[in-house]
């Protein structure tokens, strides 16, 4: 399959998602569409977006942001685009929550200062097989159903949902746009915020700087893939060599025990003899 050009990327492509949401206004629009409520000024933590090393061993394509809710309360958000890894999502959500909380307080500060937080996964598959556009989780008492009130929330969105009557139209339009972030899709959408989002995405795709970043990103992916294959081959050869040496030692031991030690020096040059001895002793 041919590689996508930067201009052809959709929001579901992790690179474009991470790049787009580094813009605080874009991030704010996305949060409003997801949460269906006003979000005030957003501060994006860019150190959590598009992080990759030269050997590609540590990669983050998610976005962490602080924002003011309508009531002025500070709220933390961690957003990630997810195209695979369905079974890993619950534990990833747990890890991200721990990551947010670990850096939220200074030594000696009261836990009462922990701000509310949202972990949000935008999935291009149905993470829980209920055909829903949105799944929202909060800590609740199993016996009585009342909320724990710890201020945490996990939201899993599904671009393949079918329950449009149960969620805002704007969310459905946004998730449709995530899959196809182009003029053709945007022309059929009604929500003003989605159109504004599309304008920002179009402007981003014209950026020579981001196009260059994408090319670098693709190069790192290729290098990582090649390195991974090379390391895997080397590990396999080493393992095979070790296994082969151990097997040969066992074979020689069996031959010595059965009075065939005089044949051992010939094993190296006589492939047929080696094959016959291996078949005989199961080595």
- Mean pLDDT, residues 59-65: 58
What is the layout of strands, in order, in the sheet containing 134-137? 39-45, 62-69, 74-82, 117-123, 152-158, 134-137
pTM: 0.73
Q: Is the pLDDT of residue 57 over 50?
A: no
CB 181 within 8 A of CB 11: yes
Compute φ and ψ for 105, nearest 5 degrees.
-120, 145
pLDDT value, residue 246: 61
Domain coordinates of the chain in residue numbers?
Answer: 6-206, 238-281
* DSSP secondary structure code for residue 51 in this structure: B
End-to-end Cα separation, the chain, in angstroms = 43
Helix (H) or strand (E) holding 228: helix 208-257
User: Angle at the Cα of 198 (from 197 to 203), degrees rounded to 5?
Assistant: 100
Helix (H) or strand (E) holding 212: helix 208-257
Q: Which residues pair with 137 in a beta bridge?
A: 154
Q: Which residue has the higher pLDDT, 72 or 60?
A: 72
């Amino acid at each position: 399959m041919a590689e996508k050009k930067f201009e052809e990327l959709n929001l579901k492509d992790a690179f474009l998602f991470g790049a787009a949401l580094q813009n605080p206004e874009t991030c704010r629009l996305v949060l409003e569409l997801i949460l269906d409520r006003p979000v005030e000024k957003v501060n994006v933590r860019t150190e959590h977006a598009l992080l990759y090393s030269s050997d590609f061993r540590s990669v983050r394509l998610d976005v962490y942001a602080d924002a003011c809710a309508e009531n002025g309360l500070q709220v933390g958000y961690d957003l990630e685009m997810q195209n695979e890894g369905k079974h890993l999502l619950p534990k990833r959500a747990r890890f991200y929550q721990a990551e947010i909380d670990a850096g939220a307080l200074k030594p000696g500060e009261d836990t009462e200062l922990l701000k509310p937080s949202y972990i949000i996964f935008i999935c291009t598959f149905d993470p829980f097989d209920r055909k829903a556009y949105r799944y929202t989780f909060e800590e609740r008492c199993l016996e009585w159903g009342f909320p724990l009130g710890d201020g945490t929330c996990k939201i899993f969105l599904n671009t393949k949902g079918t329950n449009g009557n149960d969620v805002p139209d704007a969310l459905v339009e946004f998730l449709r746009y995530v899959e196809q972030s182009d003029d053709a899709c945007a022309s059929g959408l009604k929500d003003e915020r989605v159109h504004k989002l599309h304008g920002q995405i179009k402007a981003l795709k014209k950026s020579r700087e981001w196009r260059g970043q994408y090319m670098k990103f693709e190069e790192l992916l290729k290098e990582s893939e090649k390195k991974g294959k090379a390391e895997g081959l080397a590990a396999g050869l080493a393992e095979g060599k070790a296994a082969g040496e151990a097997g040969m030692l066992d074979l020689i031991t069996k031959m010595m025990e059965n009075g065939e030690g005089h044949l051992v020096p010939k094993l190296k040059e006589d492939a047929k003899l080696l094959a016959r001895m291996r078949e005989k002793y199961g080595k």
